[in-house]
Amino acid sequence: MASASSSSPCSMFFEGTEKLLEVWFSASEDGGDLRSISRDDWETLLKNVRVDIISCSNDDDMDAYVLSESSMFVTKRRFILKTCGTTTLLLAVKPLLKLVKEKCNLDCVDDVFYSRKKFARPEKQHEIHQRFEAEVKHLDELFENGAAYTLGRINKDCWYLYTIDDEKISEPDQTFELLMWDMNPDKMMIFTREVSLDGPDASKRSGIDKLFPDMLIDDYLFEPCGYSMNGLLPGGLYITIHVTPEPQCSYVSFETNVSQESYNEMLSKVLKLFQPGKFLMTVFANKESSARNAHKDLEDNHIPGYTRLDHQFCKFKNYNLTYTYFSSRPII
């Protein structure tokens, strides 16, 4: 996804792989609402990350921000920040904790999730993000009981996760994420200014607008290429899609917290839309979620045109996690 301020043509390299942070807050005494934090305060926080707010949408449960490098979501006590390129996401964690305590009196961290796929060009990242070990060290200085994991093949594409070893989330929670690369060039052309006029035009041409009929969409098409979209559904549910269409580094991410007892239909729809050469899928679900048994559907999942190269199931805290990696061609 090209930055809003980028003037580079679509032949340039861009790191589409996102850094994803999710933090759940609570108060030791009376606490407020994260959504009471002003846009000005969020913009100040995001200067640490090197991103800007492009637009905002909201409903009764959530504020969703399209950023110059991906997205941010805010509910009463959950904060989600997803940034791509060479952003410095982890430099915002300490200021985030301070901001939330000062503005909302939310002084307890109930859970933390930080995750990302292996970067294509890690040497281009800020030093704090060049190695997962450095990211873990930084997070361990801020949180107690940290737990770090690597899933997949460490000498190929793999996926990193940092969390804390606590069980304080008692409400249903789940996340379905698809990270896709080696994309179909014809599909990627939709997300350029050569083909589409703007975000809504790209959403319509690609079929993204039909994924969930009742979805409130906020979308943006970058210049000269790249696309970001946030979708809101009632009940604090979100969908976010980010597209890096550059041929030499094509990448798409799809993420949602919509709960499904089986994610096979959703997976099929997304793959049909984007037609990746390779993709990595993760499914999180806690004990209270109706998606807690979705991993059983994925154990012997067969997807026409793809070969499953890795499949791992993890059970930690009160969450189940499934990691799966598919490719339409052998890994070289």
Contact 159, 151 (CB under 8 A): yes
Among the options 206, 242, 289, 327, which is catalytic?
242
Active site residue 11: no
Active site residue 18: yes
Contact 15, 84 (CB under 8 A): yes
Among the options 6, 15, 203, 289, which is catalytic?
15
Q: Sort strands 63-67 and 78-83 into parallel, antiparallel or unpaired.
A: unpaired
Burial of 185 by CB count in 10 Å (0-12 exposed, 13-18 middle, 19+ buried)? exposed
Among the options 68, 71, 84, 327, which is catalytic?
84
Contact 182, 250 (CB under 8 A): yes
Active site residue 225: no
Active site residue 295: no
Among the options 3, 6, 68, 70, which is catalytic?
70
Q: How far apart are CA 226 and CA 237, in angstroms?
A: 24
Active site residue 84: yes
User: What are the tokens at 125?
Assistant: 């990242």
Among the options 71, 228, 250, 289, which is catalytic?
228
Active site residue 249: no
| Residues β-bridged to residue 176 | 256, 283
Q: Which amino acid is at 6?
A: S
Among the options 6, 10, 18, 203, which is catalytic?
18
User: What are the tokens at 38?
Assistant: 């002003």
- Residue 274: enclosing H or E segment and its boundaries? helix 264-274
Closest C-alpha among 49, 94, 93 to residue 71: 49
Residue partners of 72: CB distance under 8 A and separation at least 6: 42, 46, 53, 64, 65, 79, 80, 81, 82
Q: Which amino acid is at 144?
A: E
Question: Catalytic residue numbers?
Answer: 15, 18, 70, 84, 228, 242
